[in-house]
Amino acid sequence: MFDGLDVSKAHDLHPPGMNWDFVKRLKDTMKMKLVIKGIVTREDAALAMEHGVDGIVVSNHGGRGEESLRSTIECLPEVVASLRGKDPSNG
């Protein structure tokens, strides 16, 4: 499907303004639910809750998005434990 696709000039796939402040501003300016995908650590799960997200998706984007090389299933217990049974949208 991607044969012949030239990605040689793609250096940074993350927009420079994508940070937790942006997530908070986005959440504060819209009425729809905000779900963040790509959470793989207890620290990011806590930050997601702190910034008011309505849900999180534990995913390592097929191993391309993070450096530990852990599978998503290996990350899941850490993220779930950090939430301590809390629903992200209810803190």
DSSP state of 70: -
> Is the distance from CB of 40 to CB of 79 less than 8 angstroms?
yes
Cβ distance 54 to 88 under 8 Å?
yes
Active site residue 61: yes
Give me the tens of pLDDT residue by residue for the chain, a chain 91 residues long: 667 877 777 766 666 677 888 888 888 898 999 999 888 899 999 999 888 899 999 987 665 555 667 788 888 999 999 887 776 655 5
pTM comes to 0.69
Q: Which of 11, 14, 51, 61 is catalytic?
A: 61
Round to whole Å and give the CA distance between 41 and 91: 17
Compute the radius of gyration of the chain from its Cα atoms.
Answer: 15
39 vs 46: CA distance, rounded Å: 10
Q: What is the largest CA-CA distance in the chain?
A: 46
